[in-house]
Amino acid sequence: MPVHATLEHAFRTRADGARAAGAARVGVFGEGVPLPLIAAMGGLALDIKAPPLSDAADGPHSAVVAAVTEPFLDAFAARFLHRFAAGAFDSYATLIFARDDVAGLASYQYALELRRSGRLPATGPRLYLWNMLHSDSPPALAFNRTELARLSDHLAETLGSVPDPDKLSAAVAGETRRAKAVASLPSGGAEAFVARNAGRWMTSEDHTAALGPVAQTDGPHIALVGSACDVPVMHDLCSGFGQVCADLQDYGRPRPIAENAADLLQSLAKDPLAVRAAPPDRFTRALQSGTETAELVVASMDSNDDSFGWELPILKRATEARGARFLNLGFRPFRPDAAWQDRARGRIAEALA
CATH 3.40.50.11900 residue window(s) in the chain: 187-352
Q: How confident is the model at residue 3 (pLDDT cuts 50, 70, 90)?
A: confident
DSSP 4: P
Give the CA distances from residue 43 to residues 59, 100, 104, 179, 297, in Å, rounded to whole numbers and listed in that order.
27, 22, 20, 19, 39
Buried b (16+ CB within 10 A) or exposed e, 236-251: ebbbebbbbbbbbbbb
Q: Residue range 148-167: average pLDDT?
A: 95
- pLDDT tens column, 228-272: 999 999 999 999 899 999 999 999 999 999 999 989 999 999 999
> What are the start and end residues of each CATH 3.40.50.11890 domain in the chain?
5-165
Q: With respect to CATH, is domain 187-352 assigned 3.40.50.11900?
A: yes
Per the CB < 8 A criterion, the answer to whether 117 and 2 are in contact is no
Lowest-confidence region among 21-30, 52-61, 172-181, 342-351: 52-61
Residue 302 contacts residue 74 (beta carbons within 8 Å): yes
pLDDT at 295 over 90: yes
- The whole-angstrom separation of Cα 301 and Cα 299 is 7
Closest CA to 153 of 33, 37, 266, 46: 37
| CA pair distance 320, 103, nearest whole angstrom | 31
According to the model, what pLDDT value does residue 217 have? 84
Element at 301 (helix H, strand E): strand 296-301
For helices 312-321 and 281-290, give the axis angle rounded to 10 degrees: 40
Between CA 3 and CA 315 the distance in angstroms is: 34
Q: Kindly tell me if the per-residue pLDDT of 117 is higher than 60.
A: yes
Element (H, E) at 223: strand 221-226
Q: What is the mean pLDDT of the chain?
A: 94
CA distances from 328 to 226, 237, 298, 339 (A): 9, 14, 6, 17
Tell me the residue type at 223: A
Give the model's confidence band at 310: pLDDT under 50 very low, under 70 low, under 90 confident, else very high. confident
DSSP H or E stretch at residue 288: helix 281-290
The Cα 99–Cα 227 span in angstroms is: 16
Longest Cα separation, the chain:
60
Which long-range contacts (C-beta less than 8 Å, at least 24 apart) are formed by 132-136?
A: 132/32, 132/98, 132/99, 132/100, 132/265, 132/268, 132/269, 133/269, 133/276, 133/278, 134/100, 134/269, 134/270, 134/271, 134/274, 134/276, 134/277, 134/278, 134/282, 135/269, 135/278, 135/279, 136/269, 136/270
Over range 37-43, report the average pLDDT.
97
How many whole angstroms separate alpha carbon 175 and alpha carbon 113?
34
Separation CA 173–CA 36 (nearest Å): 9
Give residue 275's pLDDT.
87
C-alpha to C-alpha distances, 270 to 30, 150, 234, nearest whole angstrom: 16, 20, 27
DSSP SS3 for 296: strand
Residues written for the chain:
353
HSE, CB side, 13 Å, CA atoms: give it for residue 101.
29
**Residues 188-243: tens digit of each pLDDT:** 999 999 999 999 999 999 999 999 999 888 899 999 999 999 999 999 999 989 99
Q: What is the mean pLDDT of residues 20-40?
A: 96
**Is the link from the previous residue into 279 a cis peptide, with omega within 30 of 0?**
yes
- The stretches of 1-96 forming alpha helices (DSSP H) are 5-13, 35-40, 63-66, 75-85
Question: What confidence score (pLDDT) does residue 1 get?
Answer: 55
SS3 state at 243: strand
Q: What span, in angstroms and rounded, lies between the C-alpha atoms of 22 and 199? A: 18
Question: Which residues in 70-91 are b (16+ Cβ under 10 Å) and which e?
Answer: eeebbbbbbbbbbbbbeebbee
The CATH architecture one would assign to domain 5-165 is: 3-Layer(aba) Sandwich (3.40)
